[in-house]
Amino acid sequence: MFVEQRFPLLKIFLWSLVLCFCGGVTAATNDLKATYLRCEYKVDPVIDAPSPRLSWILKSQRKQQTQTAYRILVASTPNKLSTQLADLWDSKKVLSDKTFQIEYKGAPLKSRQICYWKVMSWDKNDVPGEWSKYARWEMGLLDTADWKGQWIGLDLTALGKDSIYHLPPAPYLRKTVVLKDGIKKARLYVTALGLYEFYINGARIGKDFLTPGWTDYNKRVYYQAYDVTSNLHSGNNAIGSILSYGWYAGYIGYAILVKNPQVKSFYGKVPALLAQLEIEYNNGETQTITSDSKWKANYGPIEQTDILQGEFYNAGKEFVGWTLPTYNESGWKAVEIIQKENRTIECYPGNPVQVTQNLKPLSIKAGDKGSYLFDMGQNFAGIIKLWVKGSAGDTLLLRYGEMLNPDGTLMTANLRMARATDRYILRGDPDGEVWSPRFTYHGFRYVEATGLRQQPDETSITGLVLGSTTPDAGSFQCSNSMINQLYQNIVWTQRANFVDIPTDCPQRDERLGWTGDAQIYVSSATLNKDISAFFTKWLVDLNDAQLSNGAYPDYAPFPPIRATDAFSPGWMEAGIICAYEIFRTYGDTRIIQKFWPNMEKFMEFLQQRSGGRYFFAERSFDDIVPKGGFGDWLSIGKKTAPDMLATMYFGYTASMMAEMAEGIDNHDRAIYYNELARRIKSAFLKHYVLPNGEMKCDIAEYAKDRTYSDEQGELSGNTQTAYANAIYMRMLPDSLIPSAGERLDKLVKENNGFLSTGFLGVKALLPALSKTGHTQTAYKLLLNTGYPSWGYEIENGATTIWERWNSYTRNEGFVAGMNSFSHYSFGSICEWLFQNVGGIKSDGPAYKRIIIKPEIPEGGIASAKASLNTMNGEVVSSWKIKKNMLFLEVKIPVNTTADIQIPTQNYNTVSINGEKHGKVSALYASSVENGYVSIKVGSGNYTFSSEIKK
């Protein structure tokens, strides 16, 4: 704590010292101002939360600035945003330093209501600042009864044509409506069972793709809301939609590959539209137009459409002008009313999928049989925009791949049963034709185009990068180009797999929300992007998918694409771990309260599984496939005993439950889970750890079932993954942590300085080494370029993170079958890059208390910079080494405190903003421990230097 906080009587005196130290300002004014106003994590959103949460970030030029109070005004119009007229809520002056997750407590909110709000903060001297600029939110349709329309569509199931895939054409729906003069406001509320695009008077509405997103459609479906006031006019107007089968009725995952009895249409067979257009006129009248039996339907140019298989488009069949009111629809038929059982309809809570970047090809090479190969230079998820000239009927085939075969041809073996092919048949426009697929996406770096009649150039194909529009949060860079490329690979892989849900891969016949991948990577994900809204959405999917026994499933949403898919240790804990990370990163307690019953049900499942013994003995999970679970998936060499890992996750999640219970002031359950965690750790030590700290398992017990060795390889407790997780998850007493670190370090060195961890081990490996004093070993693992390592991938041209360490090796080439080159699990090293190299950590929820503690390598990196936008503002840690000196620059946001831990060989050489530490120590609490000088500061920019080498 600061001196002024510890000794209040010295506050005025010390504040004057701070003013002098900071350059001098008068204490009578307050430059504290709220910016970046958000509601439910979004800027000016449409929501349906009845008590939305408000957040803002404070800016100030003064050091050690804090908020002591706030006042929020909410009104029905901007003109009423005053202390006298605010008609929805005036919080009055609230004594609090809180600036996020503040629940609206005003007048009850109604469907369609628009709310305007602003906030003012008082600084640490109780001086009020300026009011913020106003922001807004809009309420969606809060009640199912608000929906007046019908689900409409056109059953084209019988028209599916293909020797392997059953892919009917896409339904087109339209209607002409008459509107009066004086349109004041118009809103479109729209959703689909399947996917949709909506059009009004020739214009596509919105920029979103793959709407309304993937859910368990039997339980809920999301809708989007659009302001379409400018798209409408008096008189005749045309409204229309194109539907696709999407996740609702299309192909999902590897169902064909595993010969599942059902391979598509897991939720329904016929896509359907539900739409509601609401118009308000200047005279106060309203008009509502809905999807109903009066719409017309047809099928035409989109001959085949599927997320996994791709899209076939015949431009010769286009309905020219079908989205305009002048179009003659006499040849169209009446829509079908698709009777659907009741399901929850909610406003989409996540980040919409949109085009986030355009890519031009790096090179174009001619291939065999008139094909051309476009190298986009980056592996990504998305689609292409095609520009082409040719004759009517010319057919262009587009295939996609992440890598090239040794002979330079497109490598598609890893796509398995995903066709991942688009086809475009030209209409013969002499001015050229532009086309992009609508309802599919691919994971690729290379595009093979066959059927071009003329030499292509860089304008022929543009890559459109698709992904959920999660805002940027962090950045990392250093003096080592390979590490910079690694970080970019991590970010690109996250972008490619955060497409409505956190998928495992974007290219092959899978693209599922695997829970093991998600829980391993979620902490790293928060450091790159603001995933608050994205995971708010997916955690609903995950809890909707919770199994009847309480376990969370292998993936979510969880359609029955393989009978043996169920749950697995290290995967099923995602329901606890992901919720915990959202709580820790964003201070979100509502997500805990919402899913607390589900999480408790899961913990009860674990206790029942343990049989009251508080650990999982060998072969405790014989009943699942694979036996024991997926374990340390895709590790190298000896496999870590899966039940040992299951026990560690049991203890780990119990500790998280205790912390989350405290977060929601449920103290009784916090006590309960702390005691549960203690018992689990005690049982773990007794069964899996020898008195000298060596970890072991009963190999003979596993040997009784031959399938364990067949599927898992040789099982052991003495592995990198075992020690790393035991240290990282705090499963060992303090007395055994040093010896566990020594054993971990020894195992790395015995493996010639290389890692051997899989999905469940890689995240913990480097942090565990750092925690136990082996940071230089961790840096050596980071800087490796031999096999297996992150650097090996980069040496071989990787622009994303590979699924397997041996996805490609020079000696053996490509691994057949399950092999993705865009798989984020091994990118969980990102956590260590930010927290240990950059040195940014949160001491408690939401970076309210910050720790800056960079770990300096002995070589390989001479400088590094990490920045992170938190709920409180931007944190920056930037260091560089010059000769024997370390220079550290730090930015701490307003309304937070930080413990700056500066590595040094000599306490007396430490300086702060150019002043020797001793001269200004009265302003900062400080201490010296384990080669670091710890200095407590408040907000502001600081420069430190210290001697780190003699």
What is the chain's alpha carbon radius of gyration, rounded to the nearest angstrom?
29
Q: How many beta carbons lie within 10 A of that of residue 83, not counting itself?
A: 11
Q: Which residues pair with 434 in a beta bridge?
A: 387
Cα(660)–Cα(654) distance, rounded to whole angstroms?
A: 10
Strand 220-227 to strand 344-347: parallel, antiparallel, or no bridges (unpaired)?
Answer: parallel
Whole-angstrom CA distances from 46 to 227, 299, 350, 354, 356 are: 10, 33, 11, 17, 21
Q: Answer yes or no: are the C-beta atoms of 799 and 556 closer than 8 Å.
A: no
- For residue 686, what is the DSSP state? H
- Helix extents (H) in 132-259: 246-249
> Taking Cα atoms as reference points, which of 838, 841, 835, 877 lies closest to residue 861?
838
Per-position DSSP letters for 381-403, written without gaps between them = EEEEEEEE---TT-EEEEEEESE
> Taking Cα atoms as reference points, which of 349, 346, 794 lies closest to residue 532?
349
Provide the strand spans (E) within 582-684. Answer: 639-640
Cα(55)–Cα(872) distance, rounded to whole angstroms?
A: 9
3-state class (DSSP) for residue 229 = helix
> Taking Cα atoms as reference points, which of 898, 900, 853, 841 lies closest to residue 584?
841
Name the catalytic one among 4, 510, 581, 793.
Answer: 510
Which secondary-structure segment (H or E) carries 185?
strand 183-193
Q: Answer yes or no: are the C-beta atoms of 824 and 840 closer than 8 Å.
A: no
- For residue 858, what is the DSSP state? S
Q: Answer yes or no: are the C-beta atoms of 91 and 67 closer than 8 Å.
A: no
Name the catalytic one among 4, 573, 803, 831.
Answer: 803
Per-position DSSP letters for 930-942, written without gaps between them = TTEEEEEE-SEEE
> Taking Cα atoms as reference points, which of 377, 446, 378 lies closest to residue 409?
446
Q: Answer yes or no: are the C-beta atoms of 461 and 444 closer than 8 Å.
A: no
Cα(85)–Cα(87) distance, rounded to whole angstroms?
A: 6
Report the residue count for the chain: 950
- Concerning whether 4 is annotated as a catalytic residue, the answer is no
> Taking Cα atoms as reference points, which of 641, 709, 650 lies closest to residue 677?
650
Half-sphere CA count of 322, side-chain side, radius 13 A: 25
- Concerning whether 803 is annotated as a catalytic residue, the answer is yes
- Buried b / exposed e along 838-866 (16+ C-beta atoms within 10 A): bbbbbeebbbbebbbbbbbbeeebeebbb
- For residue 264, what is the DSSP state? B
Cα(890)–Cα(878) distance, rounded to whole angstroms?
A: 6
Active site residues: 510, 803
